[in-house]
């Protein structure tokens, strides 16, 4: 698919773009209308398969109508042709404008606050768009059944720009942007995700990352562009991906997925259990032999058979219950499955000690492998150096794809050049300067037209668009708050529910920062009516953990014993007794217990230190 030696004819496209700009003025003339219709039909017949809209075809199939329209002459059955309708068709076909008429005085006045590079294309960008349109036509002829590519899109100034030039690598001073985990988490929290207007069509606009950060909202392609800009500056080999995903990923619906922290804890516990089971006990030759068993082997066998039968029944019931829960938690059927367009970030190994392929979701900031079933296919990838299209079959998703983009049988690139870090330096061979000049005499990617993607310190500290954000997972609701937003220092609240409608809470986890009393975490068990407070080091009393059961008045306090002079490590107190535990004391005291005699349990509202002073006690000290 080498497009350098191919001839290029732009007359049809130039005429089509002129019709696109002047169609409103010429709609009264019948000849001009017929001419524009012929041009549209010429392009539509070439890419008729791209115009298939599953949403509209479903309704037509239900009514029994024929999807394909007959070739009838122009008349009342057609809608009036306007510049808006022509732009919609051009967007569906993926056409690139090859004429750049001067803007009117009104448009110049409205766009005077934007930089010069946002409003016009320089000569190199125009040449790149010519290359891209040639590449698009060859791709269309070679793969007529595939959907169009996102090669160029309109920005906020209504100027068509190449998608590769929208990426602007920017290095920030914040430590969080040095890792891909930190970049993904910040972008997912800082920008509000907006689904595509039409889930089966490419976006008509791709605004600059500067405006995305300023407004703090954007669709998947805009968020991926911003994320790749930071990852490239951090030294990763990152690419924007245009492909297909499930409805849940396209709409950022996480109500069917588990909370990531809970899922990682379960995996860690499962690994620990497996390692504990696989450990074999070392049998010493000095161990005492077990006594001889005089029980009947037949009776033991029958008992074992009965116990195995009961265990099998229990396991079957558990499996049935698990299948019922999985069926209940399964998302409903999606009529647009496989048609929904989505964008995410691809990180290829080779830089920054990355050893495996990483799919980074910009809406959640979670990384996964290509075996993730939520990603259904890839059409193209790009960064600030080149544009590649995927030639591999995506029937089984992305798990079987080869991401060696230097392999031309799997990936085709737009520009003939290659990045400098791909080149091999051959020592001992002399190359004439003329040959070097001829080798480098090709079109390379222009510099980005976007201003550096800087984030002010105030916005970085505020983090979330409105200072707070709510994310709903399966039976879990996460509330995130910016530091110093709330008076009590609350930064996150995680509520675990019993039902899927988020009505009956079970446990509430609250995390705090920048508190004077060093409170770090508060856990509330709603059913048990119990609360546990955890503190960071630095308190005068060296308190570490404080647990209270409100029903029976039982309390327990743990301390940082290495900080305290008396070595106190734990205090347990209820209505009838109190015990103190010590560690690493010189007098070897490790337990002190106080028992209250001859008194009835006090009511909850009367339980206080002043009331306990009047109770007879019996002290017991253990050394």
State the pLDDT at residue 441: 66
- Beta carbons of 158 and 21 less than 8 angstroms apart: no
- The first and second tokens of residue 436, run together, are 């070097």
Range(s) for CATH 2.60.450 in the chain? 465-600+614-622
**CA torsion angle for 234, 236, 242, 246 (degrees, to 10)?**
-90
**Predicted local confidence at residue 431, as pLDDT:** 61
d(CA 74, CA 84): 19
- Name the nearest CA neighbour of 148 among 156, 138, 161, 158: 138
CA atoms within 13 A on the CB side of 536: 12
Its CATH architecture, for the domain 465-600+614-622, is: Sandwich (2.60)
CB of 231 closer than 8 Å to CB of 238: yes
Q: Which parts of the chain register pLDDT below 50?
A: 1-30, 32-33, 36, 39-40, 44-76, 271-272, 274-278, 602, 604-615
For residue 558, the SS3 value is strand
Helix axes 83-93, 11-26, angle to 10 degrees: 150
Paired residues of 390 in beta bridges:
411
Q: How far apart are CA 523 and CA 621, in angstroms?
A: 33
- Residue 379 main-chain phi, psi, to 5 deg: -100, -45
CATH top-level class for 112-261+334-464? Answer: alpha beta
* pLDDT at position 190: 94
pTM metric for this prediction? 0.75
Can you say how many angstroms the Cα of residue 314 is from the centroid of all Cα atoms in its chain? 39
Is residue 504 within 8 Å of 497, Cβ to Cβ?
A: yes
Mean pLDDT of the chain: 80
pLDDT of 450: 95
Neighbours of 200 (CB within 10 A): 18
DSSP state of 104: P
| C-beta of residue 553 within 8 angstroms of C-beta of residue 574 | yes
Residue 231: how many CB atoms within 10 A of its CB?
27
**Cα separation, 368 vs 18, whole angstroms:** 46
Pairwise CA distance, residues 573 & 554, whole Å: 6
E-assigned strands of 313-405? Answer: 341-347, 358-360, 367-368, 375-382, 387-390
Q: Phi, psi at residue 478, to the nearest 5°? A: -110, 125
How far is the C-alpha of 333 from the C-alpha of 339, rounded, in Å? 14
Q: Are 272 and 390 in contact (CB under 8 A)?
A: no
- How high is the pLDDT of residue 109? 60
Name the token pair of 307: 């116990």
The set of residues, in sequence order, having a beta carbon less than 8 Å from that of 287 and lying 6+ positions away, is: none
Tokens coding 478: 């996460």
CA 347, CA 159: separation in Å to the nearest integer? Answer: 29
Residues of the chain with CATH 3.10.620.30: 112-261+334-464
pLDDT at residue 29 in the model:
43
Compute the distance between CA of residue 64 and CA of residue 67 in angstroms, rounded to an integer.
Answer: 9
- How many Cβ atoms sit within 10 Å of the Cβ of residue 472? 14
H-helix or E-strand containing 44?
A: helix 30-46
The per-residue pLDDT for 477 is: 94
Q: How far apart are CA 376 and CA 245, in angstroms?
A: 5
Neighbours of 74 (CB within 10 A): 12
For residues 361 and 368, the answer to whether their CB atoms sit within 8 Å is: yes
Q: 3-class SS at 229? A: helix
Confidence (pLDDT) at 35? 52
**Sequence-distant (≥ 6) Cβ neighbours of residue 106 within 8 angstroms:** none
Mention every residue, 6+ apart, whose C-beta is less than 8 A from residue 144.
Answer: 46, 47, 49
- What are residue 35's phi and psi, to 5 degrees? -60, -45
């Amino acid at each position: 698919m080498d497009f350098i030696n191919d001839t290029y004819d732009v007359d049809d496209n130039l005429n089509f773009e002129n019709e696109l700009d002047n169609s409103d003025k010429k709609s009264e003339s019948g000849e001009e209308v017929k001419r524009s219709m012929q041009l549209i039909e010429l392009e539509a017949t070439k890419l008729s398969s791209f115009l298939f809209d599953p949403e509209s075809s479903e309704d037509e199939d239900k009514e029994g109508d024929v999807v394909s329209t007959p070739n009838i002459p122009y008349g009342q059955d057609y809608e009036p042709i306007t510049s808006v309708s022509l732009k919609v068709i051009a967007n569906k076909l993926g056409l690139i404008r090859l004429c750049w008429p001067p803007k009117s005085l009104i448009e110049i006045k409205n766009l005077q606050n934007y930089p010069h590079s946002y409003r016009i294309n320089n000569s190199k960008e125009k040449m790149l768009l010519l290359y891209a349109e040639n590449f698009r036509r060859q791709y269309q002829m070679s793969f007529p059944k595939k959907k169009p590519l996102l090669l160029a899109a309109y920005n906020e100034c209504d100027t068509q720009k190449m998608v590769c030039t929208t990426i602007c690598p920017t290095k920030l001073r914040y430590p969080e942007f040095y890792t891909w985990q930190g970049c993904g988490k910040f972008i997912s929290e800082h920008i509000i995700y907006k689904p595509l207007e039409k889930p089966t069509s490419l976006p008509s606009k791709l605004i600059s990352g500067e405006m995305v950060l300023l407004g703090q909202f954007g669709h998947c392609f805009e968020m991926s562009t911003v994320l790749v800009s930071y990852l490239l500056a951090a030294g990763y080999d990152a690419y924007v991906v245009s492909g297909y995903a499930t409805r849940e990923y396209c709409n950022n619906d996480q109500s069917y997925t588990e909370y990531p922290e809970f899922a990682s804890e379960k995996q860690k516990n499962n690994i620990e259990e497996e390692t504990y089971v696989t450990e074999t006990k070392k049998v010493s030759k000095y161990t005492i032999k077990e006594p001889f068993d005089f029980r009947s082997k037949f009776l033991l066998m029958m008992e074992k058979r009965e116990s195995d039968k009961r265990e099998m029944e229990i396991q079957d019931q558990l499996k049935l219950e698990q299948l019922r829960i999985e069926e209940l938690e399964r998302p409903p059927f999606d009529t647009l499955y496989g048609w929904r367009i989505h964008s995410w970030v691809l990180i290829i190994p080779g830089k920054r000690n990355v050893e495996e392929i990483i799919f980074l979701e910009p809406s959640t900031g979670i990384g996964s492998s290509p075996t993730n079933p939520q990603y259904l296919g890839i059409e193209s990838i790009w960064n600030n150096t080149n544009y590649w299209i995927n030639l591999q079959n995506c029937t089984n998703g992305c798990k079987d794809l080869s991401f060696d983009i230097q392999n031309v049988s799997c990936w085709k690139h737009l520009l003939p050049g290659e990045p400098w870090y791909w080149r091999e330096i051959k020592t001992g061979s002399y190359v004439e300067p003329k040959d070097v000049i001829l080798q480098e005499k090709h079109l390379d990617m222009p510099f980005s037209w976007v201003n550096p993607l800087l984030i002010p310190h105030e916005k970085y500290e505020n983090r979330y668009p409105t200072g707070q954000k709510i994310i709903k997972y399966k039976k879990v609701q996460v509330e995130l708050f910016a530091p110093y937003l709330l008076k009590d220092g609350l930064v996150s609240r995680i509520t675990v529910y019993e039902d899927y409608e988020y009505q009956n809470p079970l446990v509430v986890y609250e995390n705090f920062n920048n508190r004077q009393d060093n409170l770090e975490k508060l856990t509330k068990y709603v059913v048990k009516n119990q609360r546990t407070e955890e503190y960071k080091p630095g308190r005068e009393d060296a308190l570490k953990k404080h647990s209270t059961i409100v029903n029976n008045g039982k309390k327990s306090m743990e301390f940082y014993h290495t900080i305290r002079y008396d070595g106190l490590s734990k205090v347990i107190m209820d209505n009838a007794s109190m015990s103190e535990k010590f560690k690493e004391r010189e007098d070897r005291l490790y337990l002190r217990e106080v028992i209250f005699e001859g008194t009835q349990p006090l009511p909850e509202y009367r339980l206080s230190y002043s009331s306990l002073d009047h109770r007879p006690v019996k002290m017991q000290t253990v050394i």
